[in-house]
Amino acid sequence: MNISDKTIGRLSLYRRLLYRFTAEGRTNVYSHQIAAMSGATPAQVRRDLMVIGYSGSPNRGYRIDDLISSIGEFLDDPSGQNVTLVGVGNLGRAILAYFAGRRPKLAIVAAFDIVPDKVNRTIHGCHCYPMEEFPAIAKRENITVGILTVPADVAQSAAQMLAESGVRGILNFAPVVLTLPPTVYVQDVDMVMTLERVAYFARKNIPDMKRGTQL
């Protein structure tokens, strides 16, 4: 079954919202309630949940705990996936702090940098290694996902090292287009481009403007 990246993104968002509902003490939720919180439509929510094989009741909606489990079984590797972060600058540190303990099955297990003052230290619970040790550490830790928070001029070489060491998915914060084999999935996050887009639509002040999501 071919699943679009937008569908995966919506399922991840639904799960985050469901955790919020659980924290509020709710046990059941309807598709229109998920839709209202996610920016999707009730029909889109129902189609997405059909993809993972979960259906609710017209009278009671969806059981939140069961739905969280079903989304987790679909999105997560049962044995977990190990992630690395390359580039422990301000953004890298913020990411390490945010993800510490947040997703046990998608954990950042190692960080890398070239600055001597940053390596061989534990930063937000994650050990930082020198970049030249990446191939060995990636093999030892079975790292398959990488986060790049490095300057643009070194992003391509860092990404190539990740790909050659078995990384098959890269979240790229560097403002550069990476050239990698088609076997490596790359998601670019260009904060300047995104901010410029937000600023443009804010300036236009269009009342009926659609929320800027990837839904």
> What is the arithmetic mean of pLDDT over 2-29?
93
**Domain boundaries in the chain?**
5-73, 81-193
pLDDT for the residue numbered 72 = 94
193 or 145: whose pLDDT is higher? 145
Task: Give pLDDT tens digits for 137-166.
Answer: 999 999 999 999 999 999 999 999 999 999
Which pLDDT belongs to residue 178? Answer: 97
Residue 213, pLDDT above cutoff 60? no
Q: Which residues lie below 8 Å from residue 54, measured CB to CB, with a gap of 6+? A: 62, 66, 67, 70, 71
Residues 5-73, CATH architecture: Orthogonal Bundle (1.10)
Q: Does residue 204 surpass a pLDDT of 90? A: no
SS3 41: coil
Evaluate whether 183 touches 191 at the Cβ level (below 8 Å).
no
The hierarchical CATH code for the domain 81-193 is 3.40.50.720
Q: In whole angstroms, give the CA distance from residue 87 to residue 148.
A: 6
Sequence-distant (6+) residues with CB within 8 A of 13 are 38, 215
Mean pLDDT of 59-85: 94
What pTM was estimated for this model as a whole?
0.86
**Long-range contacts of the stretch 43-49 (C-beta < 8 A, 24+):** 44/10, 44/215, 45/10, 45/14, 48/7, 48/10, 48/11, 48/14, 49/14
